[in-house]
Amino acid sequence: MVFQRPAGLVSTPEVNPVPITSQSVGQLLIDDLPAGTRTSQIQADSNFNGTGVAYAYFNEITTRIGAGLLQATMMRAGSTPRDFGCAGLGKICRAYRLPGGVMVEESYEAGLDISIFRPNVAEFSIIEDNVAEAAGSRPSKGMPLTIGQLLKIVLDGGGSSRSASRSCSRP
């Protein structure tokens, strides 16, 4: 897979970032899905035993370009990221920075994982995969969302995005 940095992708600080709750993470997934998307029932949960992690996922999502699963995870962030970057992942990963101290990491192994780190706000990750989990399910032709659609969701979840959905495309 060849990565291409999306042109025009910017991030701006927001006074009121998205709250870290299972409801808000689930709502981000629902709000940013393309029209006509078919999904399984969304499932969401949170673990605030000191970690402050909220997540939501669809076991099945079908769009006009593919089908698979979609999962988002959000957690509180300090001034420096934890376990963030492409160390040791080589060509299947790329990391870059956006204005405002935002760090973005894209990696591709079995599926596509895009994470952002916004200092003192949140770390937000989204994973999509076209491998059917349920026994007997047919694998699809491709991933359900484009890189641009995934970036829009993670940037919305991490505080702010502008132009993400128009600027990005799957290589």
For residue 48, is pLDDT > 90? no
**What CATH number belongs to 22-167?**
3.40.1000
Total-model pTM: 0.73
Instruction: Return the DSSP state at 6.
Output: P
**H/E stretch holding 54:** strand 53-62
What region, left, alpha or beta, does residue 25 occupy, with left being phi > 0 and alpha being psi -120 to 50 degrees?
Answer: alpha
| Helix, strand, or coil (residue 55) | strand
Q: Answer for the pair 68, 132: CB distance below 8 angstroms, yes or no.
A: yes
Q: For 60-119, how does the pLDDT look when each residue is reduced to its tens digit (9 = 90+)?
A: 999 888 888 899 988 888 888 777 778 777 778 888 888 888 888 888 877 888 988 888
Q: Answer for the pair 67, 61: CB distance below 8 angstroms, yes or no.
A: yes
Q: For 6-15, how does the pLDDT look when each residue is reduced to its tens digit (9 = 90+)?
A: 444 444 455 4
Q: How far is CA 142 from the centre of its chain?
A: 17
Q: Answer for the pair 136, 74: CB distance below 8 angstroms, yes or no.
A: no
Q: What are phi and psi of 126, to 5 degrees?
A: -135, 140
| Average pLDDT, rounded, for the chain | 75
| Helix, strand, or coil (residue 82) | coil
For residue 143, is pLDDT > 90? no
Q: How far apart are the first and last CA of the chain?
A: 7
